[in-house]
Amino acid sequence: MAITSRTPDISGERQSGQDVRTQNVVACQAVANIVKSSLGPVGLDKMLVDDIGDVTITNDGATILKMLEVEHPAAKVLVELAELQDREVGDGTTSVVIIAAELLKRANDLVRNKIHPTSIISGYRLAMREACKYVDEKLAVKVEKLGKDSLVNCAKTSMSSKLIGGDSDFFANLVVEAVQTVKMTNGRGEVKYPIKGINILKAHGKSARDSYLLKGYALNTGRAAQGMPMRVAPARIACLDFNLQKAKMQMGVQVLVTDPRELEKIRQREADMTKERIDKLLKAGANVVLTTKGIDDMALKYFVEAGAIAVRRVRKEDLRHVAKATGATVVSTFADMEGEETFDSSLLGYADEVVEERIADDDVIMIKGTKTTSAVSLILRGANDFMLDEMDRALHDALCIVKRTLESNTVVAGGGAVEAALSVYLENLATTLGSREQLAIAEFAESFLIIPKVLAVNAAKDATELVAKLRAYHHTAQTKADKKHLSRCSLTMPSTYGCSMGLDLGKGTVRNNLEAGVIEPAMSKVKIIQFATEAAITILRIDDMIKLVKDESQNEE
């Protein structure tokens, strides 16, 4: 029985039982409904206006949810879920939220039908394990079998729903080239693709197709003074995280001066201290100095005289990436153990050259031929800020997807193929179980169909008919795979891959998406299943909510 009460011992409201569960499910449905219409190659964009009037136009699930101020605690779980998916995989944020909300809705219906939440949770866990196993064993295809194009196709699939979907051929090649450039092998012999080494610079003007790839790491700032050289080669780079301005007395330090001439000496000493620091840098062999803080105008002349490039106000994130790529150490103080100020040449990083180039109307410092890892920069062109920001988000997703594909080496068919296959498989599995988890697994199987349904609805196609067709193909493939009755399925793919039939949303038909090149990394799907189930279980376990009221009497004291 649902109770809402105010207990005299607790200064707050307590809700328990079915009420809380329904409230949580409704809140999660509301969040999912916001992102639902942005799923798929014909998904629509959202315009978000924040409290100070800044506008964001996007259809990236994680970005939309991050910008919403969600009050409800259960709905917050879904927002965190989207962020987790974004961090772990980089794409699939909308799908994971939609599946989690659907799982919850169906679980709530089961609880209403007098099935205990514990049984549902154990059923969901079992279904999750089986689904992940099925994806890995039956649906995943090794990348080598599909050839080099598979990377480009993965990137195109990821971009299809984004603003740059129309130019996906052009951008997919850019993305694949960028990811392959930053390839490196770590100490254990594993091949890694640190996509943080890909810097994305946004420059106004021209069209999106004028975007290009630059070999080298680009910093969005120019030289600190015009007298400095435009190019330094070979470059020895010092990365600093402190001010190169006149040393000021610390707060609270008082100096009593009796003779006014002493004041001039103090001023002179303050200027000399900065000069000594710069001398130490130059003596160590630095000819490029990057600092996150400021450099005094007085101090710039020393760099000009030495023929070195100095750059001030570099973003900390950029500085870290430059340090990693060039083998430099970020120095936050010159002080050593003895209290003296020293700077050793071993702290410097190396690059073939550092040049200042002009991109659009901005000066950009390019660091080329870095020592440890190769760095590249994607220069994006576009009409306005909204477009550039959305292109940036779309490319981030595509970069992550290509990285995951290269590292895991397995892909699955997209366009609702995996969801339909899992739905049919788990439904058959549920009927073989004699335990009470059977109903939960059947509902879990049904929940997956939400993805092909939403894809079809967003494409203005008949969802009921398309999903029915899709299930028929997969059912045939799974029940008759051993008898080689793959007449409805693609005959070119081995039967072990089951059926790769998915939706073709342009024509409103069902096709083999593996051949059509609509593919995504298997890891992305597995993570979506795991994260969505975990989130649904977390919210399903809640059957009591106590809202505490602020105690006014304490504030008055």
Active site residues: 60, 93-94, 397
Residues 91 and 401 sit within 8 Å (Cβ to Cβ)? yes
Helix (H) or strand (E) holding 202: strand 198-204
DSSP symbol at 343: -
Closest CA to 82 of 99, 62, 98, 68: 62
Label each residue of 454-480 as H, E or C. HHHHHCCCCHHHHHHHHHHHHHHHHHH
Distance CA 431, CA 444 (A): 13
Contact 162, 59 (CB under 8 A): yes
Q: From CA 413, how far away is CA 410, in angstroms rounded?
A: 11
Cα–Cα distance measured from residue 417 to residue 158, given in angstroms and rounded to the nearest whole number: 15
DSSP state for residue 45 in the 8-state scheme: P
CA distance 337 to 332: 14
Which among 467, 465, 455 is positioned nearest to 415, based on CA atoms?
A: 455
Structure tokens, 137:
């064993």
Half-sphere exposure of 414 (CA within 13 A, CB side): 27
Q: Which of 489, 496, 529 is nearest to 513 (CA)?
A: 489
Which burial class, exposed, middle or buried, applies to 158 when counting CB atoms under 10 A from its CB (0-12, 13-18, 19+)? buried
CA separation for the pair 399, 177 (Å, rounded): 10
DSSP 244: B
Contact 63, 56 (CB under 8 A): yes
Please state, in angstroms and rounded to a whole number, the distance separating the CA atoms of residues 370 and 112.
62
Two tokens at 346? 């071993």
Distances (CA, A) of 294 to 324, 380, 514: 22, 28, 54
d(CA 105, CA 96): 14
Whose CA is closest to 220, among 373, 412, 380? Answer: 380
With CA atoms as reference, report the closest residue to 371 among 326, 332, 415: 326
The answer to whether 314 touches 241, Cβ cutoff 8 Å, is no
Residue 34 and residue 93 in contact, taking contact as beta carbons nearer than 8 Å: no
Coil vs helix vs strand at 378 = strand
282: nearest Cα among 326, 228, 318? 228
Rounded Cα gap, residues 154 and 168, in angstroms: 11
Helix (H, G, I), strand (E, B), or coil: what is residue 546? Answer: strand
Tell me how far apart the alpha carbons of residues 336 and 365 are, in angstroms, rounded to a whole number.
31
